Structure formats: C-alpha cells, structure tokens
C-alpha cells in the first residue's frame, strides 16, 4: 500500500505510525514516501513515480536488511493507494494520468483537492459535475470537523474542495463506502504528539480527550484494514458488515455504501484515457 500523506506528501510519515503500523500488522506492506518540498500536488508526480520504480526494484532487499525473512514475498501486482488530505489529490492525479497500473483499490482519508485552501493556485484533480476516468473499489473517510476553520481562519478541508467533491466523482460501477467520523477533525488520526503539534492549525473538536483520540487512531487503522480484507478475502460479508453497520463501530459515525453488483467487491481497476470519452459518462 502506497500511503500519500497530508500536504501532498509533505507531512513526515512517522506522524501516521500508529495507523500505518496497524495496517502493516495484517500483512500489508506500507510504503509512505514524503518530502518537505515546495511544490504543488501534481508537480510531485514525477518524484512519486520515480520512487515507486525504486521501491519495486529495491524494497525486498531493504526489508531483508532490516531483518524481515527472505520468505516474505512482496506482491507488486496487487497495489493499494491511500491518501490523506492533499495526498489524496496526488493519488487521484496519478491514477488519472498514468492509469491503473497494478493498483486494485483506493482509500481516501479526508481527501482535499487543489493546491491551497484558498484556491489561489488553480490546480485540481476533479472537475465538479464530471466523473473520474478510472474506477476501483474505494473507501472514503470524512471527519465531522473537516470543514471547521483553524486559527488561520481557513479550514484544512474546505467543503467545496474536500469529501463530497471526491465521492461524487467516483466511478458509478465501483464498489464504494463512505464513513463520516462525526466527532473528529482533519488531523485527529495522526499520532498524538503530531496531532498536538498541529495545534489548531486545522479546525478541531476541543472536547476530545487523549483516550478518544487514541480510540480514533485505532478505529482508522481497523477501518482501512477491514476494507482491504473486504476486497481480498472470499468471505467479504463479515468485513463489509463492519463498514456498513455503525452500531459496531467504536466511535460515532454515519455510513453509506454503493454495491453496484450486489456481490463481493473484486480487486480491479478500469481506466480510460482522459482524451477520450469514458463509456460511463
């Protein structure tokens, strides 16, 4: 799983260690490329593709150097893409331009379009009213406080640039789930020290305790893992039930889903070049 973090891969990846370690503990190899570089999301695409090529060539050897058994096989033909905030912009832009490749499923965590919350730089991966030119099983997580302004007076996930903008553009034939963590905010599933360091840069719920934030981190890690099991395991119903039944969730949440086929989701991705008319439009 390639995890593209906030600020378009500009947030230190260790800020997400609890959530990503949770996912990795279930046999998913998580790679989180990041760099504090002054560039727009789509200007970072060449570096991302170069990094992915390096990972495919060297990751297995690096894992062995770090003590992982040589018997562990990296399945480069089954890739998952995940993005938080503007990291989701990078992921969507990559899939739009380069095609599916080996990506088979996608996770959008509080996704944000654009290059800045004020819309000064006109760079977007989604055009409202138009569908994306690719489709694959998708999990979308929103937070109830995403659209709340921080101390800067701006929200890190403005309503017109975030969650619904992505949900409405998803392929209509793809299995997809959307969960809204109603009591939480944009930065709340970062590790506690990083969440606290962010202060009120993004809007937040000041009433949450450290225990509740820990519960949320566990929830997000479990949610992503559950989704990946739903698309990889034969008995998907036991996993999709958790994605759809909020009474089983450890936090207050709402859930919606679209199952176009009425059966278990399949690892797949369809793509049509942007220069041609997609058959589902």
Q: What pLDDT is recorded for position 277?
A: 41
Q: What pLDDT is recorded for position 275?
A: 62
Q: What pLDDT is recorded for position 280?
A: 36
Question: How far from each other are the two terminal CA atoms of the chain, in whole angstroms?
Answer: 29
pLDDT digits (tens, 9 = 90+) for 15-25: 999 999 999 99
What sign for the dihedral angle of Cα 25, 29, 35, 38? negative
Q: How many other CB atoms are there within 10 angstroms of residue 262's CB atom? A: 5
Domains of the chain: 2-271 (3.40.50.1820)
pLDDT digits (tens, 9 = 90+) for 81-120: 999 999 999 999 999 999 999 999 999 999 999 988 777 8
Q: What pLDDT is recorded for position 262?
A: 87
3-state helix, strand, coil in the chain (%, to 5): 35, 15, 50
- Picking from 86, 77, 98, 165, the residue whose alpha carbon sits closest to that of residue 128 is 165
Q: Which two tokens stand for residue 26?
A: 């279930």
The parts of the chain modelled with pLDDT lower than 70 are: 275-281
pLDDT digits (tens, 9 = 90+) for 120-143: 889 999 999 999 999 999 999 999
């Amino acid at each position: 799983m390639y995890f593209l973090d906030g600020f378009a891969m500009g947030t230190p990846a260790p800020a997400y260690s609890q959530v990503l370690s949770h996912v990795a503990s279930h046999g998913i190899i998580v790679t989180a490329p990041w760099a504090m570089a002054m560039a727009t999301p789509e200007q970072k695409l060449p570096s991302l593709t170069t990094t992915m090529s390096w990972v495919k060539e060297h990751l297995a050897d690096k894992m062995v150097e770090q003590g992982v058994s040589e018997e562990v096989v990296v399945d480069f033909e089954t890739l998952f893409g995940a993005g938080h905030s503007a990291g989701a912009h990078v992921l969507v832009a990559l899939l739009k331009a380069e095609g599916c490749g080996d990506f088979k499923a996608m996770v959008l965590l509080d996704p944000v379009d654009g290059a800045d919350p004020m819309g000064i730089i006109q760079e977007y991966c989604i055009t409202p009213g138009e569908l994306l030119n690719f489709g694959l099983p998708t999990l979308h997580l929103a937070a109830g406080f995403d659209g709340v302004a921080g101390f800067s007076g701006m929200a890190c996930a403005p309503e017109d640039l975030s969650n619904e903008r992505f949900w409405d553009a998803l392929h209509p034939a793809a299995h997809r789930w959307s969960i809204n963590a109603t009591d939480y905010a944009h930065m709340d599933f970062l590790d506690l020290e990083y969440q606290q360091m962010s202060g009120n840069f993004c809007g937040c719920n000041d009433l949450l305790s450290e225990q509740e934030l820990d519960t949320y981190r566990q929830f997000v890690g479990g949610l992503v893992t559950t989704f990946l099991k739903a698309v990889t395991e034969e008995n998907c119903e036991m996993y999709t039930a958790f994605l759809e039944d909020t009474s089983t969730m450890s936090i207050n949440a709402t859930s919606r889903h679209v199952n176009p086929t009425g059966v278990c989701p399949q690892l797949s991705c369809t793509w049509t070049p942007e220069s041609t008319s997609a058959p589902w439009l």
